[in-house]
Amino acid sequence: MKWGKILIVSLIVISVVLVFMTVFLPGPNGYYRPSRTAEDRIVVINLNGTIQETGSGFLYGGISPRFVQNQLRRAAADRTIKGVVLRVDSSGGSIAASQEIASMVKKYEKPIVVSMADMAASGGYYISVHAQGIVAQPGTMTGSIGVISTLMDLDGLYEMLGIKVETFKSGEHKDMFSRKLTEEERQIMQDISDEAYNQFIAEVAEGRGLDIEEVRELATGQLYLGSQALKLGLVDRLGGIEEAIDYLAELNGFENPVRYEFPQPSMFTQFFDMSYRVLFSLNKAMLGPELIMLEILREGIPPDIRYQVR
């Protein structure tokens, strides 16, 4: 009964907040109202947060391949939209998700220019390299071409919790992520990291038209400011969103580029998204910390191999 009351009160609060947001606050486009008469509309698509396979949307944050695909399809279907500016603000994330998004950008039928915000590094840079051009602020943090891999040794935690694990396996390394690694397994992980690293270098070289060895010299994992990245050939110009729109127009001969952004999601969509998140969080909270920890340990903690700044 207690949790039922909490749930009802939470939903009421969410409803009131959403009504206020819808009526009194500007949408994700700020107070900007796009022109409906311009011939050369350039849509700005905001990509903010960690790159991951799931979880992006109006309220979730993060950048998923599905979200990017939906936005690009929406722009492709609108004949009045001549090009796309991807506003990227991300420290990176999942390798496979970064590769999938980069492939979408590479194959897209309309011209794309990337506008980098505070940070577009590691995976955030990876998804940008196949754009027709990249524009960054002098102080944008970008680059970080490299791979980071982390594993957790849970032996001490199991001992503290009094949990004993007995494993039956077929395959020498099948349980390598549920115990301390052997030297051979450490080399396996390093080989995986090195292969992902080489894939990153090759993608940058292709997308930016640079020599592989030239990129390899830059691929130390370090961050570069936008002003440094310009000198190194990692970006094309310095500036913000408007400069990116002008650059796209210049590259494609658009005489009257006008900024456009997709309308804010409906109130129903906002309410549904937030309600789902609240219900999911309440469901987790009802389990209690001990059961949550047990569930995590039962499912296991997979290796974390990423194109991400850490």
Q: Residue 269: pLDDT above 60?
A: no
Q: What is the pLDDT of residues 145-189, one digit of tens each?
A: 999 988 877 777 777 777 777 778 888 888 787 778 889 999 999
d(CA 152, CA 201): 27
Please indicate whether residue 261 or residue 163 has the higher confidence score (pLDDT).
261
Min mean pLDDT across 70-79, 97-106, 217-226, 265-274 is at: 265-274
Which of 35, 149, 169, 174 is catalytic? The answer is 174
Domain boundaries, the chain: 38-262+301-308
Q: Are residues 251 and 113 in contact, defined by beta-carbon separation less than 8 angstroms?
A: yes
Residues 6+ apart with CB under 8 A from 162: none
Active site residue 122: yes
Whole-angstrom distance, CA of residue 190 vs CA of residue 148: 10
Q: What is the pLDDT of residue 165?
A: 75
Q: Which pLDDT does position 294 carry in this prediction?
A: 60
Report pTM: 0.79
Query: pLDDT confidence of 6, banded at 50, 70, 90?
Result: low
CB 94 within 8 A of CB 55: no
Which of 64, 115, 122, 128 does the annotation list as catalytic?
A: 122
Q: What is the pLDDT of residues 86-131, one digit of tens each?
A: 999 999 999 999 999 999 999 999 999 999 999 999 999 999 999 9
d(CA 116, CA 94): 19
Of 155 and 258, the structure prediction assigns the larger pLDDT to 258
**Is 115 a catalytic site residue?**
no
38-262+301-308: what CATH class?
A: alpha beta
**Residues 82-109: b if buried by 16+ CB within 10 A, e if exposed:** bbbbbbbbbbbbbbebbbbbbebbeebe
Q: Is the per-residue pLDDT at 39 higher than 80?
A: no
Least confident of 35-44, 62-71, 208-217: 35-44
